[in-house]
Amino acid sequence: MLTKNEVLEMFKEAGVLKQGHFLLTSGRHSDRYLQCANIFRNTKYSEKLCADLASQFEGFNVELVIGPALGAVQMAYEVSRHLKCENFFAERVDGRMTLRRGFAIKPWQKVLVVEDVVTTGGSVLEVIDIVRQSGGEVVGVGVIVDRSGGKIDFGVPLKSVISMQVDSWAPDECPLCRSGNTQLEKPGSRKLPI
C-alpha cells in the first residue's frame, strides 16, 4: 500500500489539491478542493492509485466495478483492470443517476462502487441504489480520497487510498462567505446553481 506521504506527493505533482472558495458537488462550501481529474491525466498516477485501491478489495470476488460519471468513469476502468473484471458507469439524466448505453447489472452480481472523492457520499448512495434495485450485491465502496475522515457509513466496507478531514460548510455557515470572499468556484461536474 502507498503511504500517505507518497499519495500527497503524487497529488502535489499532479496539481490535485486546490486552495480557494469552492462549491462542492454536495452543495457545501470548502476552502480546499481535490481535483482528482488531474490524476487521470497521467497514467503514472492513476495506475498506482487505482492499483492500491484495487488491492484493498482482493478476496471480495468483485465481478463489476461501477462509478458515477463523470468523476469515476476512468477510475472504474482502471480499478477493474487491476481486479480483472467488467466495468461501466452510471450517469445523470434529468438530475437522476441511471444506467444507459445498454449497461445492466445481473442479479446477485458482486459489485464494487467507486468514486474519486467523497464528502457526503450522495452520488455513491445513488449508485448503490441502482445496483440494489437491479438485484446486484454491493460488496464495497472504494474511493481515492475520503474527505470525511472515515465518518461516512455506506453499510458496506469503505476503503480509500487516502482519508483526509477537509472542512466544508453549509452555504449559510460558510466563514469564507461571511468574510466577504464571495469568489465561489464550481469545479465539479454536476451543475448546481451558485
pLDDT digits 0-9 by tens, 90-122: 999 988 998 999 899 999 999 999 999 988 889
- At 18 the pLDDT is 86
CATH number of the structural domain 4-178 = 3.40.50.2020
User: Alpha carbon of 165 to those of 72, 94, 109, 128, 162: distances in Å?
Assistant: 21, 32, 33, 24, 10
pLDDT confidence band for 127 (50 / 70 / 90): very high
Note whether 57 and 159 are within 8 A (CB): yes
Question: pTM of the full predicted structure?
Answer: 0.85
Half-sphere exposure of 25 (CA within 13 A, CB side): 22
Q: Is the pLDDT confidence value at 129 over 60?
A: yes
47, 53, 57, 62 alpha-carbon torsion, rounded to 10°: -50
Lookup: cell for 182: 464571495
- At 189 the pLDDT is 57
